[in-house]
């Protein structure tokens, strides 16, 4: 019998130990009670992970692994090099007993997907997925975490860069707006997972978002063009007014009310080094309240907004892991800076 190379055994062990913290519940250190407790009067968010990283923690009891596969790897790796047997003990072991070793389902989603959105497009109470791909793809949800095979929508003429979801014509059915580098295409939903013919708006850009930016109860669109913003105010019937343009360093955007005045604001990035907060005037116009820079040039092609420290003010997370905490007045403070 010829033993398999020692490096194969060690690499297998390293790979398994690397992914252990993701799914092994018996290995996770609990967060402190302060980290687990939400702010007074504020329910915990169901989809925001609670902070709770521990440093310098020690363990008084030995680790016990539920997976037979991991136990076999640890036992064989602990033997002297010369006594390593062939890795036959793994044959026949059901690796599915370790949930972090299972393979998630994958779905065909068109060519060059650039963004996704979750919503109930066929009015069955289940979350569906729309993918900004070429062509756009709709994956209807089964309600158990799986999705049906994707259905392509009409082609857009060029590959989409982003997708926004809202009810643009007030019929109770969700509609879609795709941005491309050449145009914006709006599809009105029928409420059953199908959509009407696309209507094109004459502007193109890198990202699109939907919201009520002039407080008239109708959904509007904002497009980041690279040279600034194009704001399309909705008429409430699926059509839009001519674009209002403004100069801003905006390639990617997220929406929130950063100064608690009841008007929607924007957090934008220039795609490389800067983060800008644009305060909404309540009439579809915006003005900059502050510009913040990351330490080095980066690929800032995304950002996320949420209340990460439970103080009631929206914060901004960047792709490199930096979090700019909001002060509630339209300004942010740099990572590591206290009030």
DSSP for 113-146, written as a single string: EEEEEEE-SSSSSS-EEEEEEES-EEE-B-SSS-
Mean pLDDT computed over 277-289: 94
The share of the chain scoring above pLDDT 70, in percent, equals 67
Q: Which of 134, 110, 131 is nearest to 119 (CA)?
A: 131
pLDDT value of position 195: 96
Q: What is the pLDDT of residues 211-266, one digit of tens each?
A: 999 999 999 999 998 888 999 999 999 999 999 988 776 888 999 999 999 999 99
Q: In the chain, what's the furthest Cα-to-Cα distance?
A: 78
Closest by CA to 275, choosing from 336, 326, 221, is 326
Here the tokens at position 41 are: 């009067």
The radius of gyration of the chain from alpha carbons, rounded to an integer in Å, stands at 25
Residue 79 has pLDDT above 50, yes or no: no
Which residues on adjacent β-strands are paired with residue 288?
A: 278
More confident residue, 62 or 114: 114
d(CA 172, CA 201): 22
pLDDT above 90 coverage of the chain, percent: 50
**Cα 62 from Cα 89, distance rounded (Å):** 23
Describe the chain by its helix, strand, coil percentages, rounded to 5: 15, 30, 55
pLDDT of residue 97: 53
Q: Which helix (H) or strand (E) holds 34?
A: helix 33-36
Whether pTM exceeds 0.75? no
Report whether pLDDT(5) > 60.
no
pLDDT of residue 30: 38
Question: How far, in Å, CA of 296 to CA of 76, rounded?
Answer: 45
To the nearest 10 degrees (0 to 180), the angle between helices 68-77 and 6-23 is: 140
Rounded mean pLDDT of 183-198?
Answer: 96
Report the candidate in 209, 183, 217 with the shortest Cα–Cα distance to residue 198: 183
Q: What is the mean pLDDT of residues 174-181?
A: 96
82 CB-near residues (< 8 Å, 6+ apart)? none
3-class DSSP state of 172? coil
Looking at residue 228, what is its pLDDT?
Answer: 87
């Amino acid at each position: 019998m010829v033993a398999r190379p020692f490096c194969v055994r060690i690499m297998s062990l390293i790979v398994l130990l690397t992914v252990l913290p993701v799914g092994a519940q018996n290995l996770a250190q609990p967060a402190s009670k302060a980290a687990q407790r939400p702010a007074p009067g504020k329910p915990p968010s169901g989809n925001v992970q609670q902070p709770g990283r521990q440093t310098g923690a020690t363990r008084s009891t030995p680790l016990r692994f539920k997976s037979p596969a991991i136990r076999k790897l640890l036992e064989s790796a602990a033997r002297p090099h010369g006594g390593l047997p062939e890795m036959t003990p793994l044959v026949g072991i059901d690796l599915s007993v370790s949930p972090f070793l299972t393979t998630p389902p994958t779905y065909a989603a068109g060519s060059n997907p650039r963004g996704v959105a979750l919503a109930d497009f066929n009015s069955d109470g289940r979350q569906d997925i729309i993918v900004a791909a070429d062509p756009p793809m709709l994956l209807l949800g089964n309600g158990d975490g799986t999705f049906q095979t994707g259905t392509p929508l009409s082609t857009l003429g060029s590959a989409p860069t982003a997708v926004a979801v809202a009810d643009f014509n007030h019929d109770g059915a969700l509609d879609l707006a795709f941005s491309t580098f050449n145009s914006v295409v709006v599809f009105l939903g029928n409420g059953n997972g199908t959509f009407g013919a696309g209507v094109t708006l004459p502007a193109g850009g890198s990202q699109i978002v939907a919201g009520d930016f002039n407080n008239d109860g109708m959904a509007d669109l904002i497009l980041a063009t690279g040279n600034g913003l194009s704001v399309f105010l909705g008429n409430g019937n699926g059509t839009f007014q001519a674009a209002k343009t403004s100069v801003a360093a905006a390639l990617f955007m997220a929406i929130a009310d950063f100064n608690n005045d009841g008007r929607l604001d924007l957090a934008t990035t220039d795609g490389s080094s800067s983060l800008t907060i644009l305060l909404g005037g309540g009439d579809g116009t915006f003005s900059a309240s502050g510009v913040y820079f990351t330490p080095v040039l980066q690929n800032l092609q995304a950002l996320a907004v949420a209340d990460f420290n439970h103080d009631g003010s929206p914060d901004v997370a960047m792709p490199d892991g930096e979090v700019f905490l909001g002060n509630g007045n339209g300004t942010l403070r740099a990572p590591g800076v206290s009030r």
